[in-house]
Amino acid sequence: MLLKLYNWTIRLGQTRYALWALAFVAFIESSIFPIPPDALMIPMIIAAPRRAFLIAGVATVASVLGGGLGYYIGATLYESIGQPVLEFYGKSDKFEALKIAYNERGIWAVLIAGLTPFPYKVITILSGATGLNFAVFMAASVVARAARFFIIATLLWKFGPAIKAFIERRLGLVFIIALVLLIGGFFLVRYL
């Protein structure tokens, strides 16, 4: 089953709809969706390494725009939408204490969440809910998301065939490691 999903994703990466699918996933991941765009971006770059930087650019732009939606959710829809998402990640009870501290160091939170497996959507919503300066939020988002996606794209562009062979030989191991990292990121958010 895993091999079929992998092959399907590789084929999707070669279709004319791949960039649209990536843009959609990157956009909604920044505000509500739990699966990171890397899950689609990596196989797309492996399938078409010559398009690595275009793919990273699409992921960056869509992710930052989706971050703007997350900010909007936090700023205007916190009670009805933002709070339930933060409750899902176990962060709503610490909100008031965090609000004060967050605005002092919010730029670092955006940068760290944008670069790491930490769920970026938590920070986008929190930035809006706490009133972090929107220009600061967007600038930090552009820097963090571009760094993340372009580092991945550069590594895959440079070492793509070796990485593709490694993934195909050890697909189960790669999937387990990715799953552990994803669950670990959610665990950190929930309990820290």
Rounded to two decimals, the pTM is: 0.74
Mean pLDDT of 167-177: 63
Say whether pLDDT at 75 is over 70: yes
Distance CA 93, CA 87 (A): 8
Confidence of residue 192 (pLDDT cuts 50, 70, 90): low
Say whether pLDDT at 125 is over 80: yes
Mean of pLDDT over the chain: 80
Mean pLDDT of 7-17: 72
> Which helix (H) or strand (E) element contains residue 174?
helix 171-191
Q: Specify the pLDDT at position 31.
A: 85
Q: Which domain holds residue 80?
A: 2-191
Concatenated DSSP letters of 101-157: HHHHHHHHHHHHHHHSSS-HHHHHHHHHHHT--HHHHHHHHHHHHHHHHHHHHHHHH
Q: pLDDT tens digits, residue range 41-61? A: 888 888 888 999 999 999 999
The percent of residues above 90 in pLDDT, for the chain, comes to: 26
Domains: count for the chain: 1
Distance CA 54, CA 13 (A): 12
Concatenated DSSP letters of 19-47: HHHHHHHHHHHTTT-SS-THHHHHHHHHH
